[in-house]
Structure 1
Amino acid sequence: MTTFTESQMRQRARSKTGGFRDATTVLKEEVASANKMSSFDIFLSHSTSDAQIILGVKGILEDYGKTVYVDWLEDPQLNRRHVTAATAEAIRNRMHQCSSLIYVHSENSKSSKWMPWELGYFDGFSGAIAILPVTKNGESFTGQEYLGIYPYIDEAPRIRSPTKEIWINKGVNESRAWDTWLRNPRAFRKTG
């Protein structure tokens, strides 16, 4: 399995932002110029401690033509540090505007209050969930046991074509292109 490294994501964020702006600056700029969207391809579930990494992930996904919801960019008024009914309702509404959820698993994921809740909620109504492991220095991915039922996201060259696309992997020998997976994501879950 290919994993994305923290350094790759930080480098991607630097290249996307010109190298001199931090996550807070990008946040302010995107909020100031944001065109509030009503639907997204991806709800990016992540730890807010990984802001710089998330900018890199978001940039890569956007390079593939995907629209990506990141709560602190689209809805900066939400206070995710405190679990409230109002914040939960806002996040639920946003999840319903998204076709899929990408769970960005990092070292910080286990301390997130929201990530397990987002995963469970999205699974209940959609099922289009994939794990994107971000590791340090290419380590192998080991997440909480419940993450093992979901496929993971990867980028790979398209067969017989020079273009690359996002792939969803059920295992080493079983993958589907993004659009094919999205048509029936529950059928492509890991079993056994």
Structure 2
Amino acid sequence: MVFGGAREALRKSAKLDSYDIFLSHSFRDAEIILGVKKILERSGRTVYVDWIEDAQLDRSSVTAETADLLRRRMKQSLSLVYAYSESSTTSKWMPWELGYFDGYRSGQSIGIMPLVSGPGVKPAGQEYLGLYPRVEELKSESGRLLPYVVRGPGDGTQWKSLEDLGRATSSFKRLANGR
């Protein structure tokens, strides 16, 4: 699925003690997640992806050792981005990560990033994802596409930066002039 050379290069450049973002995702989306990681890093954030940072983990089975390591990594992270896809609905770990992180840091530090198309995607059976703001790419003041945390539909849309997500701020700004 992921090319060995690219995976190894990413692993060698990794191994941090703290992260801005814990990227919760389904391993079935590994190729897409590499792109998501790059998108999030464009805003200057550091991103934890388990199979890059901790390749020794076997996420296909639930063990106390894996849970302990994931808890430690979440405690080292300021925010969590939940990459929602069709694959995430069958993940053994994603709902657990979301619940743990919400209890540990707060819902103010969580953003949902839909990897499936369509406005206002509301996954059946996972309506709780609607409790959190979305992570979407918007044009920055300089005209670059960058990820922002957004809430609200249409003209009422509000945004905050990924940095503000890590600070667990509840203040959002009004969306104006296409940004």
What is the TM-score when the length of structure 2 is the normalising length? 0.83
Name the CA distance, whole Å, in 1 between partners of 2:118 and 2:138. 19
Q: Which runs of 5+ in 2 are unaligned?
A: 173-179
| 1:156 and 2:128 are equivalent in the alignment | no
Aligned partner of 1:63 in structure 2 is 42
The alignment of Structure 1 onto Structure 2 pairs a total of residues equal to: 163
Q: Deviations over 1:42-77 (max 9, x none)?
A: 100000111111011011112221111000000001
Name the CA distance, whole Å, in 2 between partners of 1:109 and 1:35. 24
Aligned partner of 1:11 in structure 2 is none
Aligned partner of 2:147 in structure 1 is 166
Aligned partner of 1:142 in structure 2 is 122
Report the CA distance between 1:29 and its aligned residue. 3.0
Q: Deviations over 1:92-118 (max 9, x none)?
A: 000111110000000101110000000
Report the CA distance between 1:88 and its aligned residue. 0.2
| 1:125 and 2:109 are equivalent in the alignment | no
Give the match's secondary structure for 1:87.
Answer: helix
Report the CA distance between 1:35 and its aligned residue. 4.1
Give the match's secondary structure for 1:131.
Answer: strand
Name the CA distance, whole Å, in 2 between partners of 1:118 and 1:72. 15
> Which of 8, 13, 26 is the equivalent residue of 1:28?
8
Distance of aligned partners of 1:98 and 1:76 in 2 relative to their CA distance in 1, 3 Å threshold: same
Give the match's secondary structure for 2:41.
Answer: helix
Report the CA distance between 1:182 and its aligned residue. 3.5
Name the CA distance, whole Å, in 2 between partners of 1:168 and 1:77. 32
> Which of 161, 166, 169 is the equivalent residue of 1:182?
166
Q: Give the superposed CA RMSD.
A: 1.9
Name the CA distance, whole Å, in 2 between partners of 1:68 and 1:106. 19
Give the match's secondary structure for 1:44.
Answer: strand
Distance of aligned partners of 1:58 and 1:96 in 2 relative to their CA distance in 1, 3 Å threshold: same
Distance of aligned partners of 1:131 and 1:188 in 2 relative to their CA distance in 1, 3 Å threshold: farther
Name the CA distance, whole Å, in 2 between partners of 1:116 and 1:188. 26
Report the CA distance between 1:183 and its aligned residue. 2.9
Distance of aligned partners of 1:104 and 1:35 in 2 relative to their CA distance in 1, 3 Å threshold: closer
Distance of aligned partners of 1:90 and 1:169 in 2 relative to their CA distance in 1, 3 Å threshold: same
